[in-house]
């Protein structure tokens, strides 16, 4: 593959499809640059005094790691001054972050999970950053939480960075999914995956099986069929993979197929799920759908859900199209 930089791809994409105006290109480049900084901090580990707990909790009541706080700060500081954003929302912050008055206000809204899978930080397992970009409502002067409450179908860009043996940036602007690998010596993002595609069928699934006793009947029925293997109703064997990092699990699925499930369950029947709609489910659904996959909450397409709050939770069934459709059908019968 010809070595194409991130900037060259964004410029050529604008020429071809007219979907990446200058402000959006700048926004994607700034997010990519921030992810490069986060990758460096993650890679230093104990040498950079970034490991362990920050001694605080986020808005969800989850204990924050030092790298959660550092990554959130990196993304905020990188994006506030460029003039491309009106406001920012983060999984780690209760309220939105309006762009300070000393900087010009742009036309986009940025949401992110600064460090997905952070429970894996201290054991050196792959983690990542997830981001979503929305257009600010027409005529908006003072951004509020309500301005962010748009269905995922309104996203103009979304993607993730994955900090593994290689650091990669994977994203979509609505014309397929492209993957870039960080050339650490040059400091450049170079395209290494073009038009990524998920197979419709798969023999791999991802779910936290320790919660099996709490699953609702449709999920139990579906997973039991997978576990029955060749002698069961599916007539073939399935493998289970579970990393407990959504970015890592979905990157594997994007690369070779599979289905990732994080269902609601009977432990907290009043909660529709564990993952956050705005910071995790919507951006990943956009990427996966653009790669030919599907994403539902068990009942409906995730990107059709009208959010009613910033930190809304949702059940997630995402990945290879035929498997997502099957488990969704079990929920709807």
Residues annotated in the binding site for Mg(2+), as ranges? 91, 113, 115-116, 280
Q: How far is residue 288's CA from residue 321's CA, in Å, rounded to a whole number?
A: 9
With CA atoms as reference, report the closest residue to 331 among 215, 218, 217: 218
What sign results for the dihedral spanned by CA atoms 126, 237, 264, 311? positive
Q: Is the dihedral of CA 100, 104, 107, 112 positive or negative?
A: negative
Q: At what angle do helices 246-256 and 282-290 cross, to 10 degrees?
A: 10
Distance of alpha carbon 293 from its chain centroid, rounded?
14
Feature table: binding site for substrate: 116-119, 208, 274
Which residues fall in the annotated binding site? 91, 113, 115-119, 208, 274, 280
174: left (phi over 0), alpha (psi -120 to 50) or beta: left
In the sheet that 155-163 helps form, which strands lie side by side, from edge to edge?
97-98, 85-90, 108-116, 127-135, 155-163, 167-172, 177-183, 188-193
Residue 178 sits at the vertex; the CA angle it makes with 175 and 182, to the nearest 5 degrees, is 150
Q: Where are the beta strands (DSSP E) in the chain?
A: 53-57, 63-65, 85-90, 97-98, 108-116, 127-135, 155-163, 167-172, 177-183, 188-193, 204-206, 239-240, 259-262, 275-276, 294-296, 313-314, 316-319
């Amino acid at each position: 593959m010809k070595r194409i930089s991130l900037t060259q791809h964004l410029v050529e994409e604008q020429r071809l499809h007219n979907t990446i105006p200058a402000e959006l290109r700048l926004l994607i480049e700034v997010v990519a640059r921030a992810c490069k900084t986060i990758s460096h901090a993650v890679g230093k580990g104990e040498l950079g005094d970034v490991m362990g707990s920050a001694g605080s909790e986020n808005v969800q009541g989850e204990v924050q790691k030092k790298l959660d706080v550092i990554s959130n700060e990196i993304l905020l500081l990188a994006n506030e001054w460029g003039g491309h954003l009106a406001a920012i929302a983060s999984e780690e912050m209760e309220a939105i972050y309006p762009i300070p008055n000393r900087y010009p206000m742009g036309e986009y809204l940025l949401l992110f999970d600064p460090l997905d899978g952070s429970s894996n930080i201290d054991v050196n397992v792959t983690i990542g950053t997830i981001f979503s970009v929305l257009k600010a409502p027409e005529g908006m002067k003072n951004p509020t939480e309500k301005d962010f409450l748009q269905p995922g179908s309104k996203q103009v860009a979304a993607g993730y960075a994955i900090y593994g043996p290689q650091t990669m940036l994977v994203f979509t602007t609505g014309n397929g999914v492209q993957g870039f690998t960080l050339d650490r010596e040059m400091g450049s993002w170079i395209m290494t995956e073009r038009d990524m595609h998920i197979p419709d069928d798969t023999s791999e699934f991802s779910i936290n099986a320790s919660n099996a006793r709490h699953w609702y009947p449709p999920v139990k029925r579906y997973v039991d069929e997978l576990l029955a293997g060749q002698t069961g109703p599916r007539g073939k064997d399935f493998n289970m993979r579970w990393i407990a990092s959504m970015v890592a699990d979905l990157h594997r699925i994007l690369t070779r197929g599979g289905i990732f499930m994080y269902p609601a369950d009977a432990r907290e029947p009043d909660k529709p799920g564990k993952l956050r709609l705005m910071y995790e489910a919507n951006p990943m659904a956009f990427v996966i759908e653009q790669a030919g996959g599907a994403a539902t909450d068990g009942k409906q397409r995730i990107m059709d859900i009208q959010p009613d709050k910033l930190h809304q939770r949702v059940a997630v069934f995402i990945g290879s199209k035929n498997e997502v459709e099957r488990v969704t059908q079990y929920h709807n019968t």
